[in-house]
Structure 1
Amino acid sequence: MRIKFIIFFFLFLLKSICFGKNDHPDSTNSNSNILNIATWNIQMLPTNFSFVSKFLQKKQKTRTPLIIDYCIKHDFDIIVFQEVFDRKIRRKIIQGLNKSYPYQIHPIKNKKALVSNGLLIVGRIPLNYLDHIVFKPGVKADKYAAKGCVLFHAQVNDIDIHFMGTHLQSGNSSKAISTRKLQYRDIRKLMNRNSKDNNPFIILGDLNTKKSEKEKYLEMLNILGVSDSESIFKNLYTFSPENSWNNNSRPLQLDYILIQKDNMKLKINWQKVFKPTHLYKGKEMDLADHYLLNAEILVRK
């Protein structure tokens, strides 16, 4: 009997040694060279003055928990939100995502602007703030926000990647277009002064530049020194008349995930657009006026 017990114990111990890794998988991600990132303009305009204009009444309080739940259910490594202007809403999003996305860089404000840059950056992987710029005051409503660009970095596959989250001047007037061009140049200067050791850059956000206007679109890529996945992926419309918040006549791509040109450490595997909705009072309501843009990026040593 004692011999049987010893044999049984030995077999049990052997099984534990051989199969322990399957029963308790290593926490290290086997796809650590894959980066899953997203950019989303979520239209959280200040609610303090919503009584003044219907333009500011966007059901922010209704949409906030829905956006939080949506992001928790999706396994993004990093999300760059734009237009997180309302302070109370910002706190709710920060707190709501804190467990799933514990690494956060909060919106930045200067003394001249009424509201912050609206850029809230959250990650499941460690993020480190590096630098930021605030653009010169913009045109029309944009002049009230401290719009700019936030530079941060994360390490993926032992490579330090520099990310630039931004939100550029909106509008099609000649002044808006020239302002946007200056903002491209400001971002490029920020990139140049932080460029070292051939570390790659990724720019993501609402660049308010229509991909359909090829001359302006290509000029943007050239000034920023980045490449898009245009030749492979088409129709990544992030702003559409089908969206419940919009009345534009045709779909547009205004939001981008762009990688530094000629840097072989990064490759975009794919990009896709998510269009989350919610049934509100019997009607489909989009969670924001822009759709979420998601990309999977291969990081090579």
Structure 2
Amino acid sequence: MNYNVYMLDHHLGIFVGGTNPNKRAELLANSSVFDDIDVVVFNEVFDNRASQILIDALAQKFGYLTPVLGRTKNGWDHTEGWRSTSLDDGGVIVFSKYPIEYKSQVIFRDGCGADWASQKGFIHTVINKGGERYNIIGTHVQADDDTCNIAPSVVRQDQFAQIESYIFGASRSADEMFFIAGDLNVAKDSQEFSSMLATLNASAPTNYAGAPYSWDPAVNGLAHANYPNFKGQLLDYVLVERSHKQPKNWHNQVLDIVSDRVELPGTQEPYYFYEYSDHFPVTAFEYADETTPTQSVRPNNKPYNAIRLKHRLTGEYVYADPNVSNGWLTYGPDGEQSNAKFKLDNWHPYIGTCIHDHDYVQISRTDGYKDHYWTYSGSTYYTEDHDSSDFMKISRLTESDSCIQNGDVVYIYDHAHHLWTSPNKYLEPSNLYIQGTKELPVGENGLFIIEMDNFEFSDWESSLSYK
């Protein structure tokens, strides 16, 4: 497995926004993500505290590990290219369930932009599994960066050439496999992909399975928070170098895993994500077996993009004003009207994949006034262009750890936050409008049945090869 875990140094929080790497490391270390994994290469374990949480927990689960690339010269059999003036380490570490017989770290000779401040490079490990030796190169190469004075793709090609030169010079037996795992910062659908493979002397996987992208702001909340308008990319790989022993088949499978709730600091109140990282992990294997995931974790049919809220007491639906963009929310009997359908999301990502109880949410129109959100004036709700109520939340009457789905009984509540926080008040139909005047706990008049599509998931079975 290769996994970019987005654990930037916590001192950078003032610049890049807090991402709570310690909590994410704790959740990840105690998850089932690595239960069937023999070797994992982590990228971006820059934060010392977060990486130590991972090390302390996963050292017991795996048994063998390297130091973090570029953090120390101790614990290595070989170090090359060390730069003592660098401000940060290289953020790569390898864990293995089988003995690591050799550990080498090589710092890249070149980099640009922010990457030059860190000791980016690669790790070479030799792992002995039952008498058969496997070579793992773990790396994280040059990222795209507008501050570079040279094209980042040129720097990457030089780094790929340095990796292949090292492999050639290592003089390992041709009977040993050589894997190159990392966030290679090259999109699979780009022209650079073929030149990367050629420079690394690596083969493309025979099978791409799982989610289409390892970095995808459309469905990953952390990625969306930083790059809301970017398209997904497949950037993370486990490749096989061609001059050594070859597998009969080779899968790369991206897993769209989710985490428990991670609380992050906001400007006024904390907010939440359900992500271990802004990347998804990619697993690699010769053949699928009974442990291989065969469908996505996240729904693929955008079920929250067209919801209706049916009042449980009266059977009437919440309406937006069909005649104006910023009209009051009302209610009526016909749920098939276009102004009775809304989009529900939890801010990041824009397309919600799983809404949980007590999540912050925003609700927008799906008729001719797209991206007009529910907000309030006084205690009465209306829709406004790109201006959502900031602290609105949703929950089920009977709470659950699962996602809110079709047929659930829900209530929506909200509060203001100016110089102080006002009490939470639940929304209900009242005097022809949708209003929030009564404090929690919710009364019967504040209960709605959510109507939406049932979840559908991507089937990965056809992309998998079995023995």
Q: Is the 8 A contact 1:46 1:56 kept in 2?
A: no
Identical pairs, percent: 23
**Deviation, structure 1 residue 275:** 2.1
Measure the CA separation in 2 of the matches of 1:56 and 1:185.
Answer: 34
Deviation at 1:56, TM superposition (A): 4.9
Q: C-alpha distance in 1, partners of 2:110/2:173?
A: 33
Question: Do residues 216 (structure 1) and 216 (structure 2) align?
Answer: no
Q: Residues of 1 paired with 2:111 and 2:24: CA distance?
A: 28
Compare the two structures and name the one with the higher helix fraction.
1
Residue by residue, what CA displacement relative to the aligned partner does 1:6-63 show, whole Å, maximum 9, x if unpaired? Answer: xxxxxxxxxxxxxxxxxxxxxxxxxxxxxxxx0000011111342x31x152121221
d(CA) in 2 for partners of 1:72, 1:99: 15
Segment of structure 1 superposing worse, 169-178 or 97-106: 169-178
Change (3 A) 1:268 1:290: farther
The 1:114–1:158 alpha-carbon spacing in structure 2 relative to 1, beyond 3 Å, is same
In structure 1, how many angstroms separate the alpha carbons of the residues matched to 2:278 and 2:9? 15
CA distance in 2, matches of 1:120, 1:71: 19
Of residues 181, 203, 207, the one that matches 1:232 is: 207
CA contact (8 A) 2:113 2:145 kept: no
CA contact (8 A) 2:141 2:184 kept: yes
Shift in alpha-carbon separation, 1:200–1:86, aligned structure 2, 3 A: same
Match of 2:384 in 1: none
Instruction: Check 1:200–1:280 CA distance in 2 against 1; reply closer, same or farther (3 A cut).
Output: closer
The one of 249, 258, 265 aligned to 2:239: 258
Query: Matched residues in 1 for 2:32 and 2:181: separation?
Result: 17
Separation in structure 2 between the aligned mates of residue 151 and residue 270 of structure 1, nearest angstrom:
21
- State the secondary structure of the residue aligned to 2:86: coil
Matched, 1:296 2:278: no
C-alpha distance in structure 2 between counterparts of 1:297 and 1:161, whole Å: 14
- SS of 2:65's equivalent in the other structure is strand
Secondary structure at the residue paired with 1:98? helix
SS in 1 for 2:61: coil
1:82 partnered with 2:43? yes
Inter-CA distance 85–284: structure 2 relative to 1 (3 Å threshold): closer
How many residues in Structure 1 have an aligned counterpart in Structure 2? 257
Shift of 1:297: 3.0
Q: Deviations over 1:49-89 (max 9, x none)?
A: 42x31x15212122111111125652210000000111111
Give the structure 2 partner of residue 286 of structure 1: 275
Name the Cα RMSD after superposition. 2.1
1:202 to 171, 176, 179: 179
Unaligned 5+ residue runs, structure 2? 71-81, 264-270, 288-467
Question: CA offset at residue 269 of structure 1?
Answer: 4.4
Instruction: Please list every run of 5 or more consecutive structure 1 residues that lacks an aligned counterpart in the other structure.
Output: 1-37
Where does residue 39 of structure 1 map in the other structure?
2
Q: Would you say 1:131 and 2:104 are equivalent positions? A: yes
Which has the bigger relative contact order, CA under 8 A and spacing at least 6?
A: 1
Q: CA deviation at 1:125?
A: 1.2
TM-score normalised by structure 2 residue count: 0.52
TM-score, normalised by the number of residues in structure 1: 0.79
